[in-house]
Amino acid sequence: MNETSRDCDLLLTGGSVVTVDDERRVIEPGSVAVSGNRIVAVGPDEDLAGYRAGRTIDCSGHAVLPGLIDTHDHLFQGLARGLGEGMPLWTWLTDFMWPFSISINLEEGRIGAKLGAVEALKAGTTTVIDNHYAPSDLDTTLAVAGAIHEVGLRGAVARGIVGEATDIARRFNLAGELFSYSNDEEIEITTAAMEQYPAGERVQVWPAPLNIIYNDQDLVRRSVALAREAGVGWHTHCSERLEDPPTYLEEYGIRPVEWLYQEGLLGPEATIAHGIYLDDAEIDHVGETGTGIAYCPISHQYIALGVMRLRDLRASGAPIGLGTDGPCCNHRQDMFEVMKQAILLQRVHTLEPTISNGEEALEMATREGARYANIEAGELAPGKLADIIVVNMKSPHLTPWHRTVSAITYCVRGSDVVHSIIDGNLALENGRCTMVDEEEVMREAQARAEDLIDRAGLHGLLTPWRR
């Protein structure tokens, strides 16, 4: 018999509940009870039958799992989706992304972020770390944070801090209009934005020195101090190209992550995108300090950057999350595709089919992503934040349905997500956003994107067929 009845706001019943909890339970059929913004119970249907819910959703034929956490994104780049094909990274930056970024205005940045947030929500992402750097004035930064919040996502706007051009930036033709603020101005703008979206809010603003390789060292120190004082994370790109550590070593006499470690800048509030080219000592440092690394397997392939040392990083104890890396290096906000590629890239690189599996990918997309983002989510367990997604498993590409974890990581598409609960609220219901008008968002994004590409002078990238 059940224990005495209890009340809850929302009860999900009859689903294949993939908890990703400490015991890694898969409960079939199972139920999840939510009160307020927290999960209050998870277990077999019969164990939760005594709950009286304000609303019950029958999840029969569906998988119920923690919301997915995108640990590195650039939502504003959605207005240039599909362009910049076939370029090495710094050519991609200088000939495509920098002109695009310099030309974008507040309204374009806002609608680009809103479009990306809608796409992410509909594909099962519940938390996003959005590295926004164009434009990075205060009003646009706040508008981007507001757009993410309005759609219903949880996350952080990691405000890209560029500051004054360094010798490395000039040497590689990265200096220019994007380096428009002084170091003092960068800190002032970031501080003001963080005051509007502080620690503890569903959407926060973090400092994000854009790339350790070409950021001024003192500006990095000041950015980290700002994050620590405010009790939030900080974000950066680092060691994504083979040439990055040697370039930094030549300029400063030390490798970049080694420098961060010696300066005391690594730690659980530090999050690094890519980290492909770390040596053994640097891997030990990120593990020792609990520094997060965002693994972005699709962009690593798209720009031919290389393959992260996933096994060594995971063994070090560092939180390793998964990231889409934005619509210009991935083209879709689909974390299910990222999970699949995270496995396959490791296997083809090592020629070893046992090197990674679906369980690891799902862990990185959920509970490890939550460690990285420092949020109480990423698993279906009592006391955790009610960030939950429900996936329809009744489709030809999911039939026959034998093993739920394998189906999730190899077969499910973002379009299979039917419900997304974030902070206890149904932000996506029956595949439709509940807080914004999707069609209006798409119409505005299309119109503004066409004007932006024209103004940025990127017509040469619109060739219908490349030869």
Long-range CB pairs of 171-174 (<8 Å, 24+ gap) are: 172/90, 172/94, 172/214, 173/90, 173/94, 174/90, 174/93, 174/94, 174/98, 174/214
Cα 405 from chain centroid (whole Å): 21
For the cut 50, the answer to whether the pLDDT of residue 415 exceeds it is yes
Helix-strand-coil split of the chain, %, nearest 5: 40, 25, 35
Q: What is the strand order of the sheet 125-132 is part of?
A: 203-209, 154-161, 125-132, 68-73, 320-322, 292-295, 270-274, 234-238
Mean pLDDT to the nearest integer, 17-28? 98
Q: Residue written as tokens 């981007």?
A: 144
The CA distance from 385 to 186, in Å, is 33
The structure's pTM equals 0.97
Q: What percent of the chain has pLDDT over 90?
A: 89
E strand map for 352-408 = 388-392
**416 vs 97: which has the higher pLDDT:** 416
- What amino acid occupies position 300? H
Token reading at 237: 């790109």
Residue 322, SS3 per DSSP = strand
Q: 70-84: per-residue pLDDT in tens?
A: 999 999 999 999 898
Give pLDDT, residue 309: 98
Torsion of CA 283, 287, 290, 293, to 10 degrees: 40
pLDDT value at position 86?
87
Give the largest Cα separation in the chain, rounded. 73
Question: What is the model's pLDDT at position 26?
Answer: 98
Picking from 150, 76, 74, the residue whose alpha carbon sits closest to that of residue 448 is 76
Coil, helix or strand for 212? coil
User: Once rounded to an integer, what is the mean pLDDT over residues 53-64?
Assistant: 98
At residue 226, the pLDDT reads: 98
Give the mean pLDDT of 369-374.
Answer: 98
Computed on alpha carbons and rounded to an integer, the radius of gyration of the chain in Å comes to 22
Supply the pLDDT for residue 89: 82
The pair of structure tokens assigned to 284 is 């030990």
pLDDT at 233 over 80: yes
pLDDT digits (tens, 9 = 90+) for 217-232: 999 999 999 999 999 9
pLDDT of residue 2: 43
Evaluate if residue 357 carries a pLDDT over 60: yes
Cβ contact 234:156 at 8 Å = no
Band (pLDDT 50/70/90 cuts) for residue 389 is: very high
pLDDT at 1: 33
pLDDT of residue 87: 86
- Residue by residue, DSSP assigns 110-165 as HHHHHHHHHHHHHTTEEEEEEEE-SS-SHHHHHHHHHHHHHHT-EEEEEEEE--SP
Q: What pLDDT was estimated at residue 5?
A: 61
What percent of the chain is predicted at pLDDT more than 70? 99
Identify the three-state secondary structure at position 390. strand
Helix residue ranges, H only, 254-366: 256-262, 280-289, 297-302, 310-316, 335-350, 358-365
Q: Using the predicted structure, report yes or no on whether residue 97 has a pLDDT greater than 90.
A: no
The reported pLDDT for the residue numbered 401 is 96
Residues 334 and 324 sit within 8 Å (Cβ to Cβ): yes
User: For residue 4, what pLDDT band results from cuts at 50, 70 and 90?
Assistant: low
pLDDT at residue 176 in the model: 78
Q: State how far the Cα of 206 lies from the Cα of 145, in Å rounded to an integer.
A: 11
| Residue 174's pLDDT band (cuts 50, 70, 90) | confident
Tell me the residue length of the chain. Answer: 467
pLDDT digits (tens, 9 = 90+) for 255-309: 999 999 999 999 999 999 999 999 999 999 999 999 999 999 999 999 999 999 9
The span from the CA of 365 to the CA of 360, in Å, is 9
Tokens of residue 140, six digits? 């646009």
Q: Which of 349, 415, 382 is nearest to 121 (CA)?
A: 415
pLDDT-derived band at 92 (thresholds 50, 70, 90) equals confident
Measured between alpha carbons, how far is 149 from 154 in angstroms, rounded to an integer?
7
pLDDT digits (tens, 9 = 90+) for 127-158: 999 999 999 999 999 999 999 999 999 999 99
| Residue 407: per-residue pLDDT | 98
pLDDT mean across residues, the chain: 96
Sequence-distant (≥ 6) Cβ neighbours of residue 79 within 8 angstroms = 100, 104, 108, 111, 112, 115, 445, 448, 449, 452, 453
